[in-house]
Amino acid sequence: MLRFQRWLGQPVAYAADYIAADSWHTIEHPDKLKRWSYSKAHHLRLVYGVPIIPYSDGGSLEQGASGAYNAHFRRLAQALKKAGQGDAILRLGWEFSGGWYPWSVHTDAEARLFAQYWRQIVSTMRAVSPQLQFDWNPAHGWKPFNIGLAYPGGAYVNYIGYDIYDEGWQSNFTDPVARWKDTVNGAGGLAWQRSFARAKKKPMSFPEWGLAWRDDGHGGGDNPYFVQQMHKWIVSNNVGYHVYFDFDASDGAHALLTGRFPTAAAALRSVFNG
C-alpha cells in the first residue's frame, strides 16, 4: 500500500483487504490485521471484506438470521478493536447477489434471510465497537431476485457499495465507450446504484474498482477512458470512499505498478492528483 501511495504521489485514505473465509476460526481470528499495524500512523481507514459463511465449516443464511453465529462476529469485533481497527468499514458478505460465494443469495426468501442475518451481525459487532461501519455491497449487474428485500434498513448500513471493473460481455464489448455506457446504464449498473443509494439516503462507495486484463479478452486492457469516466463519476456523485484494486487476481489482472496499463496508469495519476 505504501508503495502505491508513493507512486500515486499523494496520501491514500482507505485500504482494502479481506478476512479469510476458510473457517469460523479464520473469521474470528483474522491474521490480516497485523499486516495493517501501521494504518493509524498513516491515517488509513481499513475496509474489510467479511465472509459470513465459511467454506469449510459450512452454514446457512437461515441459521445466521436466527443469531446462531453471533458469537463468531462478537469475537471478530473484539479482534478488530484490540488491533486498533475498531473504526473499520466492513463489507459483510460482499457481492452477495452474485453466484460465487457460500453466502450468495438466489431467491426472495434468501434475500429476507440475508437482511435479517445482517442485522444480527451489525447489532452484535456494534455492541463491542460502536465506531464500526458497514457497507452493503451487492454484485454489479447481478440481481436474480428482488434486491430490495436484502436491504437490512438504514440503521444498519453506512454505504451502498459496488465493485466496478472495466469488463464487458455485450455484443460491442470491445468498444470502450459502449462498455462504459453499459457499466452505467446496463441492468444493475451504476445508475441503479446511484438511484438506490439516493432513495436510501446513503453515500455510494467503490470498495473495489479497476482496469482489467483478462485471458478471455473481455477486459478493457490499457484504457484511460475508463479511468477518466470513473473519476468523473466519483467526483460528481455522492461517493463516500473508493479503493483502486491494485492486485492481479486469478480471474483478471488489475495492478497498476506492473506496467501492464501504462497509458491508463498515467491517466489515473493525472486525474486523481488534479
Phi/psi class of residue 44: alpha, beta or left (left: φ > 0; alpha: ψ in -120 to 50)?
A: beta
Q: What is the pLDDT of residue 235?
A: 97
Q: Pull the grid cell for residue 246.
A: 491494485
The mean of the pLDDT values for the chain is 95
Which comes out higher in pLDDT, residue 218 or 11? 218
Q: What is the CATH number of the domain that holds 67?
A: 3.20.20.80
Say how far apart CA 39 and CA 84 lie, in whole Å. Answer: 9
162-219 pLDDT, tens per residue? Answer: 999 999 988 899 999 999 999 999 999 999 999 999 999 999 999 999 999 999 999 9
Beta bridge partners of 48: 17, 90
Find how far residue 53's CA is from the centre of its chain.
17
Give the residue among 219, 220, 236 at the shortest CA–CA distance from 271.
236
Question: If pLDDT is split at 50, 70 and 90, which confidence band does 269 have?
Answer: very high
Q: What is the pLDDT of residue 10?
A: 85
In the predicted structure, residue 266 carries a pLDDT above the cut 70: yes
Q: What is the pLDDT of residue 219?
A: 96
Residues 218-235: what's their mean pLDDT? 98
Q: How far is CA 14 from CA 33, 49, 88, 221, 260, in A?
A: 15, 13, 10, 25, 24
122-163 pLDDT, tens per residue? Answer: 999 999 999 999 999 999 997 889 999 999 999 999 999 999
Q: Is the dihedral of CA 73, 76, 82, 86 positive or negative?
A: negative
Residue 204: give the domain boundaries.
2-272
Beta bridge partners of 249: 252
Q: Looking at the 3D structure of the chain, how many domains does it have?
A: 1
252 close to 165: Cβ distance less than 8 angstroms: yes
72-131 pLDDT, tens per residue? Answer: 999 999 999 999 999 999 999 999 999 899 999 999 999 999 999 999 999 999 999 999
Residues 222-247: what's their mean pLDDT? 98
The pTM of this model reads: 0.96
27-75 pLDDT, tens per residue? Answer: 999 988 988 987 777 788 999 999 999 999 989 999 999 999 999 999 9
Which comes out higher in pLDDT, residue 267 or 3? 267
